[in-house]
Every structure is written in structure tokens, then in C-alpha cells.
Structure 1
């Protein structure tokens, strides 16, 4: 039996549904982070005592920096998921970009935007 070169259309559809659901959740999380950063919730300490505000500024700055980092990471994740959808459309999804072999389904279900097999990833160090 010859080794499969690509996933079938049915298999690609399964992965597409996984990616779409993860993408929807990722976009929602990203929007929540951006709303928090732009203070759309309105839960700020602007209307409380000045002393409290001074004490909170340091931790608020750190929290905003952490949130900005998380938002950037989330945006990168969204882009990776969108790129995976393009690979599905091109029927190149699930093919390791180093070895050219199929990435196992279990790995793609866990990390649907993966472009490397475990072997290729470990070889990169």
C-alpha cells in the first residue's frame, strides 16, 4: 500500500470545522482583550480616591503590558489558523513543510495550525 500524500476532502472538512471553531473562540478572546485594553468596560479607578489610584497605577501598567503581550500572541494564533484554512483550500493542509509527509491526525486535532511533524519539530531543536 502506498503512503498517502494528502488528506481526503472529507478529512480536510473535519479539520476545517475544528479550525473554524477555534478561530471563532480566538477572535472572541482577542476582542475581549482589546476591549479591556481600550477600557470599554468602564471598570477603571478614575473616579476613586487619588491615593488608591497612585497605588494601582503600577500594577495596572504591568497588567496592560501582560494583556498587550497576550493580545499579540492571540493575533498571531488567529493568523496561523487563517493560514491553515488557506492550506485546506489549496489541499496542502497537514503536509509537513520539512519532510513532505502527512502530519498525524492526532497532532492536527491538538494543534490544527501545525506545519511541522513532531519529528521535524524535534530536529529543529
Structure 2
């Protein structure tokens, strides 16, 4: 039974490591897209110099820029959490609930690989 194990095997940890590395790569691509959208890297147009009156457009541009900044901040936190999970894999403490000290279910870790709480501990919060 999985509950009696103290930690995941090295093979299982390697499997989780691969999942996490894929998620980090995808998350970094998403972050780059978000950053380029609010930094206007790809926009070399003359939108900001045209004398037209488009205050409504500018307002929505500002709002979408702010939304993208917020998404980028969340994405950076997600990447940081995933990298912390990689450290836990190296320390062989990955997948151990920080509250109950029991193994977090494998299915949960596959869906939320940066999880540090079991479902049981999460419900108690």
C-alpha cells in the first residue's frame, strides 16, 4: 500500500521530474508570450504617435496590459513553485505532505506537480 511508504522511489521521482520539467518549459514559453504582449516587443508600429482620438481603445489596452502583467506574475510564481518541486525531488522529500507527513497521492501530483499538501490537509485548511 502506498500509504506505508515513506517516500517515492527514485524511478517515481524521475517520472515526476520529467513531468515538472515539461511544465516549466511550457510555462516559460507562456510567460515570454505574456511579457512580449505587455512590453510591446513585437509592436514597432506608429500606434502611439498617431493623433487620433481613441481613448476607449487606450483604456482597454491599459486594462489588457495590466491583466497580462498579473498573469505574468502568476506564471512566474508557478515556475518558481515548479522549480522548488525539483529541489524537493533532489532532496528526496518530493510528494510528502508538509502537514500530515504522508505521501501525497500520485494522481494529485501528476495534475498538480508542485503540490505540498495532500487532499486531506488541503480540506482542513
Tell me the TM-score normalised to structure 1 length.
0.92
In the TM superposition, what is the alpha-carbon distance from 1:47 to its structure 2 partner?
5.4
Gaps of 5+ in 1: none
Distance in 2, matches of 1:56 and 1:108, equals 43
Whether 1:123 aligns to 2:124 is yes
1:83 is aligned to: 84
1:112 is aligned to: 113
CA gap 1:55/1:49 in 2 versus in 1, 3 angstroms: farther
- Corresponding residue SS for 2:4: coil
Tell me the TM-score normalised to structure 2 length.
0.92
In the TM superposition, what is the alpha-carbon distance from 1:48 to its structure 2 partner?
4.8
Distance in 2, matches of 1:113 and 1:43, equals 38
Pick aligned residue for 2:48 from 37, 46, 66 = 46
The alignment of Structure 1 onto Structure 2 pairs a total of residues equal to: 123
After the TM superposition, which segments of 4 or more aligned residues of structure 1 sit over 2 Å from their partners? 43-49
CA RMSD of aligned residues (A): 1.6
In the TM superposition, what is the alpha-carbon distance from 1:55 to its structure 2 partner?
2.8
